[in-house]
Chain A
Amino acid sequence: GENVEQHPSTLSVQEGDSAVIKCTYSDSASNYFPWYKQELGKGPQLIIDIRSNVGEKKDQRIAVTLNKTAKHFSLHITETQPEDSAVYFCAASISIKAAGNKLTFGGGTRVLVKP
């Protein structure tokens, strides 16, 4: 089955700096790669996702890049703010209509943005 590795496990950055989280996956058939943000005591919330037919996607201060050949994808947060402090999870799945979208998650990255 799919295996997703995520690094680093913790990341401390100064407010205004950039944060980068990297993930690798094992199953070349995976075609959907979401990133989730989880705040304390809450469920994960989707912040951005990318499909295998796209190499990069941006949404304001957040961007995700995908390298299918190397089977890795990354999350980039620019101009970090204290409210970006949370645990971030990458995930991968083989998204097939009517067959579900079982997500395999990485181990998570705890991001701390210091004011």
Chain B
Amino acid sequence: GAGVSQSPSNKVTEKGKDVELRCDPISGHTALYWYRQSLGQGLEFLIYFQGNSAPDKSGLPSDRFSAERTGGSVSTLTIQRTQQEDSAVYLCASSLDRGQSNEQFFGPGTRLTVL
């Protein structure tokens, strides 16, 4: 079946502009995660959604970052007033988070470049 999809695949923006990144999780997956991967680095947790529970925002680096998940499915990560240090690949993952099933399935990511 279809995996996690993300759009756009690439985004180039100017410093100070706002950007929106979209994630479509695997159908039926209740958990959705956003991670950031800076060049040559490991992945850094940003935010987690589970069903109708309040999201875990503990990884968001500043108040310029926000995310929402509408209808328990699609999620949008918004970065306001982008800075050059926001340049990275933003990865979305979804999982069932049921019983012993913890596997997170990742999308291909959105490469964000802030000029």
A108: which of B42, B107, B108 is its contact (CB, 8 Å)? B42
Q: Is B31 a contact of A105 with CB atoms below 8 Å?
A: no
* Inter-chain contact B50/A43, CB cutoff 8 Å: no
Residues of B close to A102: CB separation below 8 A:
33, 45, 48, 56, 58-59
Pick the contact of A41: B33, B43, B107, B108 (CB < 8 A): B108
Supposing A100-B31, A103-B43, A105-B42 touch, asked if A43 and B97 sit within 8 A by C-beta, the answer is no
Mark the stretch among A14-22, A44-52, A56-64, A70-78 that contacts chain B.
A44-52
Shortest C-beta distance, A110 to chain B (Å), equals: 9
Chain A nearest Cβ from B93, distance in angstroms = 8
Query: With an 8 A cutoff between CB atoms, is A65 at the interface?
Result: no
Whole-angstrom distance from the CB of B94 to the nearest CB of chain A? 11
B79 within 8 A of A: no
Contact with B along A68-104 (1 / 0, CB 8 A): 0000000000000000000001010101011011111
A34 to chain B minimum Cβ distance, whole angstroms, is 7
Q: Contact check: which of B48, B95, B97, B108 meets A42 at CB < 8 Å?
A: B108
Range of interface residues on B (Cβ < 8 Å): 20 to 34
Measured between beta carbons, the chain A residues less than 8 angstroms from B35 are 103, 105
Measured CB to CB, the closest approach of chain A to B105, in angstroms, equals 8
Task: Look across to chain B and name the residue whose beta carbon is closest to the beta carbon of A1.
Answer: B58
**B interface vs A, CB < 8 Å?**
4, 31, 33, 35, 40-45, 48, 50, 53, 56, 58-59, 91, 93, 95, 97, 99, 102-109
16 A-B residue pairs with Cβ-Cβ distance under 8 Å, sorted by A, are: A32-B102, A34-B103, A43-B106, A43-B108, A49-B103, A89-B43, A95-B102, A98-B53, A100-B33, A100-B48, A101-B31, A102-B33, A102-B56, A103-B35, A103-B104, A107-B41
Chain A contact residues, CB within 8 Å of chain B: 4, 6, 32, 34, 36, 41-46, 49, 89, 91, 93, 95, 97-98, 100-108
